[in-house]
Chains A and B, each alone.
Chain A
Amino acid sequence: MKTLMRKSALLPAVFALAAALGASPALAEDAVNVTNLSYRTGPFAATGTPLMNGQRDYMLMLNERDGGVNGVKLVYDECETGYNTEKGAECYEKTKGSSIVTQPWSTGITLQVLPKSNVDKIPILAPGYGFSPMSDGKVFQWAFNPPASYWDGASMILKNISEGNLDSLKGKKIVLLHLDAPYGKEPIPLLQAYAEKYGFTLLPIPVGVKEMQNQSAQWLQIRRERPDFVLMWGWGAMNVGAVTEAAKTKFPMDKFVGIWWSGHDGDMKSVGEAGKGYRSISWSLPHSESSVMQDIKKYVLDAKKAEIGEGEFDWVFYQRGVLISMFTVEGIKAAQAHFNTKVVSAEQLRWGLENLKLDEAALKAIGMDGMIAPFSTACNNHAGHAGGWMLQWDGAKFVKVSDHITADAEMIDPLVQTEAKKYAEANAPWPINEECKM
């Protein structure tokens, strides 16, 4: 048993260092730490980076323009995960002492930290991603996925491709091309429920992380199956791989529809004209002339506080990142007003996120009108179900091609409740918010 020897000889030094650093964040007075578990490295960096930039720049802009939120500075740090769940869990441990919110940025990491949220009492903010049943706020008291869950997205896409008449899907064949990870599998239960009810055939085709860049096998299968529509739950290098392959096999682009994470300008730019007609559902609209974007340009980009890529400013993802940071900030504002305090704690922020009231007037006040549909959260509704719009690639940029679409609550709610219940039972004892009477 000399085995343990050398290990421990190294550890005390090691450990003193980590203990000193891990536990004591250097916080200035009147500041809140809002750390982001970012990924600017790894196979998903291309899609991650503009989102992280948008998140960062909104925070920087508020610090520059208003000195933070009601006089409280926003400390925006990043912990790099590379979309790796192991790194993500490590980052969570590293940041949970200081950050008042956890932004896991991957469904895999969300699943990993979700059970701990009740114990550590830090809200998880997973805007438009994560585990869809998280919208049930009674069960998932600490998790938030505003403004819409993946199931909302799936429902909205089906509504749009059937032109509002879901019965017209009868007898059709729909392929779900998805990343073979928890994220890609999210919509399957809901789509299956829809397939049963409306009589269409659902064919999920998984794309492994290793085969993201070369999807010839999947597209061969798609050609053989001749589906009426292909829906895509893709991310990172998978999006560009799929769109390239679709263009190569001459798949009609107007039958190819992606979730909001598969509508990235950078991916579409690489196919350009060939991708014309591709659609992607989105809960956000890019609006570069809005006052918030102009302020970011003025206070952050022109002032050289941060740098972003060429043309990135107009991208859907960059501006979506701005909206995501807005959720945190509005949560902080709500908590400040309710608890009559300046520096909010993680538990107070939870209340704030549960009581977001983003109506037209509120969005106008922060200069974001037209970028997102108004919504509000409640103790039983952590998603807000804001709905969204269908965007279409016109060869150079994404343009809005639909009216506002909302998800079909009748289909989703029962599934949310059963899945949330199943989760709570599998993880018993799981605390349920009994005070919530809604």
Chain B
Amino acid sequence: MLYRTVGQFKTSYHADHALFPVKQDAWLLGFILLIAFVVLPATANEFVFNALLIPVLVYALAALGLNILTGYAGQLSLGTGAFMGVGAYACYKLVTIFPELNIVVAIALSGFFSAAVGVAFGLPSLRIKGFYLAIATLAAQFFLVWLFEKWAWLYNYNSSGAIQVPNIDMFGLTVAGPNAKAVVQYYFVLCVVCLITWFAINITRGRIGRIWKSVRDMDIAAELVGINLMKAKLSAFAVSSYIVGVAGALFVFLWRGAAEPVLFDIPLSFRVLFIVIIGGMGSILGNYLGAVLIVALPVLISFVPGALGLPVSSAMVEHLNTMIVGATIIGFLILEPHGLARLWAIIREKLVIWPFPH
């Protein structure tokens, strides 16, 4: 009923290749964008922006970057946290060396630093595969975090070893730093995330995306049909690290406001990897679903005892939270091993034929 595709004919190849061959998808997206751009900013308070909306968007973007590498090109990486760190520190150096630089330009440029580092650590992928590659990226993780700690130039010789985001204006509006309004930061992050998502959708369903998928599915076969594996793998590392780097810059500049090296350590990499696995490998929608589950759910659960008036101490809530989130992850993976994106795809298929399944 709601999702009836009957009667939606395509009369040209162009129409068949459209982003939304089914009209309802476009409507649904439009509705969601309306909520994201109009309804939420009008109703959310600062806590909702800073603890739910902005982190979900930033983590979803980081997961999107990793998903391109792992889900689309099949190269397992455990260095996401460190690559986010490269983006964040690059952005910090750019902003402090060139205070006049527009923050958008700084963030866009910082992605290139991360992409370069990603390609350098991606080189071993030409020889090693699977778990062995994961170990190689793990080396990147440890090395880069060590570098963030030891290379004092990166944090401008600050005695505490942490980086602090100064107040940054853009067109007369403070977008980063302590004086920035949460709603402004939200719009900033939302716009960047939408732009990159649009780019990611198009790159993954085009020629390059198909090359990546063929490498993922069987790289020998891909090589036999004339695909240059080196170009394919390194381009995946570059694009993925670029997005991860931008996510890292947003992570510190538009959300956290300050960062210490240990923040980019392996737990962050795992967190992003969990989002990808739970959301769904090789899917773009999955990153958002995964981020909601991993990032927003614990925050919401912590409110439940208070709302019900249960006298549970906050330490106990934290313990319960860990257990509930862990159980939810296992539950979802048993229910649908291919992630939440696949779950939505199944629901959507059912909706299309509902109420007459035959």
Contacts and interface: CB of A to CB of B under 8 A. Distances in A.
Interface of A: 1-12, 14-15, 17-23, 38, 40-41, 77-80, 82, 85-86, 89-90, 93-94, 97, 107-108, 111-112, 115-116, 118-119, 131, 180-182, 185-186, 188-189, 206, 208-210, 419, 426-429
A93 B162 contact: no
Given A7-B289, A15-B40, A90-B299, 20 more contacts: A1-B29, A1-B201, A2-B284, A4-B29, A6-B288, A6-B292, A7-B32, A18-B47, A18-B51, A19-B44, A23-B45, A80-B318, A93-B51, A94-B51, A111-B162, A111-B260, A115-B257, A181-B262, A427-B164, A429-B179
Interface stretch (B7-15, B229-237, B307-315): B307-315
6 contacts: A22-B45, A80-B315, A115-B258, A186-B160, A427-B166, A427-B167
B56 A7 contact: yes
Interface of B: 19-20, 25, 28-29, 32-33, 35-36, 39-40, 43-48, 50-53, 56, 60, 96, 149, 156, 159-162, 164-167, 177-179, 194, 197-198, 201, 256-258, 260, 262-263, 265, 284-285, 287-289, 291-292, 296, 299-300, 303, 306-307, 313-315, 317-319, 340, 344
Q: Which 3 A-B residue pairings sit nearest by Cβ, starting from the closest?
A: A115-B178, A40-B315, A22-B47
A86 B19 CA distance: 37
Contacts of A97: 47
A21 B35 contact: no
Nearest to A23: B45
A38 B314 contact: yes
Mostly, the B contact residues are helix
Contacts, number: 185
Contacts of B36: 4, 8
B315 A17 contact: no
Contacts of A82: 318
A154 to B, nearest CB: 13
Contacts of B296: 14
B194 A78 contact: no
A116 B177 CA distance: 9
A405 B315 CA distance: 37
Contacts of A426: 96, 156, 164, 166
Mostly, the A contact residues are helix
B262 A3 contact: no
Nearest to A92: B50
B318 A6 contact: no
Nearest to A16: B43
Contacts of A41: 315, 318-319
Nearest to A187: B159
Contact of B35 (A8, A119, A208): A8
Nearest to B344: A6
A312 to B, nearest CB: 16
B152 to A, nearest CB: 11
A188 B262 CA distance: 19
B159 A18 contact: no
A314 B198 CA distance: 62
A327 to B, nearest CB: 22
Nearest to A13: B300
B25 to A, nearest CB: 6
A427 B179 CA distance: 10
Contact of A89 (B50, B53, B317, B319): B50
B45 to A, nearest CB: 5
A133 to B, nearest CB: 9
B300 A14 contact: yes
Given A10-B292, A131-B160, A78 B45 contact: no
Contact of B256 (A19, A22, A89, A185): A89
Contacts of A119: 178-179
B3 to A, nearest CB: 13
Nearest to B306: A21
Contact of B29 (A2, A108, A206): A2
B91 to A, nearest CB: 15
Nearest to A183: B160
Contacts of A5: 28-29, 32, 285, 288
A79 to B, nearest CB: 6
B162 A4 contact: no
A9 B315 CA distance: 31
Given A97-B47, A209-B262, A419-B159, A6 B307 contact: no
Contacts of B50: 89-90, 93
A332 to B, nearest CB: 22
Contacts of B19: 1
A185 to B, nearest CB: 5
A209 B261 CA distance: 11
A411 B239 CA distance: 51
A59 to B, nearest CB: 14
Contacts of A427: 164, 166-167, 177-178
A180 B149 contact: yes
Contacts of B162: 108, 111, 182
A74 to B, nearest CB: 17
B287 A3 contact: yes
Nearest to B159: A189
A7 B60 contact: yes
A419 B164 CA distance: 14
